[in-house]
């Protein structure tokens, strides 16, 4: 029973951390100009965890945990 309670607490803490990162990202994006016209190093470093390049597509993984697959 204790192990289950501890697991639930760890899962809850992980979800809270993801929610906090999403809220931080949202606040940061609201401060940015609405149109991005050039590469912004600070924005990229703040938002993107990694980019994986495959033979026919690539995957962008954001720090929030969201991943996007692009075919271009």
Q: Per-residue pLDDT tens for 58-70?
A: 999 988 888 889 8
What confidence score (pLDDT) does residue 4 get?
A: 81
13 or 54, greater pLDDT: 54
Chain mean pLDDT for the chain: 84
d(CA 68, CA 35): 20
In percent, the amount of the chain with pLDDT more than 90 equals: 18
Cα distance between residue 3 and residue 7, in whole Å: 6
User: Does residue 50 carry a pLDDT above 90?
Assistant: yes
pTM here is: 0.50
The whole-angstrom separation of Cα 25 and Cα 19 is: 10
Residues for the chain: how many in total?
72
Listed by start position, the domains of the chain span: 2-70
């Amino acid at each position: 029973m204790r192990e289950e309670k501890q697991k639930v607490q760890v899962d809850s803490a992980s979800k809270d951390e993801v929610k906090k990162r999403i809220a931080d990202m949202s606040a940061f994006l609201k401060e940015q100009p609405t149109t991005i016209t050039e590469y912004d190093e600070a924005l990229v470093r703040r938002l993107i965890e990694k980019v994986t390049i495959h033979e026919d597509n690539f995957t962008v993984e954001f720090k929030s945990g969201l991943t996007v697959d692009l075919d271009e």
